Amino acid sequence: MVWLLRKCNNCNVYTFKDSCPKCGGKAVSPHPAKFSMDDKYRRYKLLMRRLAANKE
């Protein structure tokens, strides 16, 4: 579950929460945005395929 980790850009602290436990700043995912975009798109396609299968 490493991809659930977020990182504070201010103090380089890793956290599971949206905000940094150290400075209270916004913690963001250290992974490239493209990764999550592709993942969302893949899930969307899977969902659409499932919905289409239910109709038939």
Report in angstroms the alpha-carbon separations of 30 from 1, 6, 9, 55, 56.
Answer: 13, 6, 9, 39, 41
User: Can you read off the two tokens belonging to residue 24?
Assistant: 């209270």
CB of 24 to Zn ion, least distance (A): 7
Residues 1-56 contacting Zn ion, CB under 5 A: 8, 10-11, 20, 22-23, 25
Q: Is 14 or 41 the residue whose CB approaches Zn ion more closely?
A: 14
CB of 28 to Zn ion, least distance (A): 11
Where on the chain is the footprint of Zn ion (CB under 5 A)? 8, 10-11, 20, 22-23, 25
